[in-house]
Amino acid sequence: MRRTTVRIDEVLLNEAKAYAAKNGRSLNSVMEDALRQLLNRSTEVAERPRVEIITSTAVPGYQPMVQERLDAGEKVEHILYDLDDDTWIQEARNAAR
């Protein structure tokens, strides 16, 4: 085992000492564990597979027929109420084609 000198923030050092005392450990073992965890976390992040996020090609906003009704001054609540209407749903499907 090798000895070395490091500079550390006094508040952080006091927290580490308190943690070590509370858990019946030496300050050295707490510092070694913290450093190992940091290094292991870096390795784990580097080994993770890249995640591809699927993005939508849709244009943001309302469906055209909803936007037309909003532009005509209808309230969203009224338009949402109509969503229960099978006829309106069929119109929306036809408009999407």
The structure's pTM equals 0.46
Residue with more model confidence, 5 or 62: 5
Report yes or no on 56 lying in a domain.
Answer: no
Report yes or no on 86 lying in a domain.
Answer: yes
Q: What is the pLDDT of residue 87?
A: 66
Q: What is the pLDDT of residue 65?
A: 80
Report yes or no on 22 lying in a domain.
Answer: yes
Report yes or no on 1 lying in a domain.
Answer: no
Q: Do 42 and 14 fall within a single domain?
A: yes
- The pLDDT of 13-32, averaged and rounded, is 96
d(CA 63, CA 97): 12
Which domain covers residue 36, as residue numbers? Answer: 10-47
Task: Report residue 97's pLDDT band, with 50, 70 and 90 as the boundaries.
Answer: low
Report yes or no on 70 lying in a domain.
Answer: yes
Q: Which two tokens stand for residue 6?
A: 């490091």
Report yes or no on 16 lying in a domain.
Answer: yes
Count how many domains the chain has: 2
Report yes or no on 58 lying in a domain.
Answer: no
16 close to 25: Cβ distance less than 8 angstroms:
no
Q: What is the pLDDT of residue 96?
A: 67
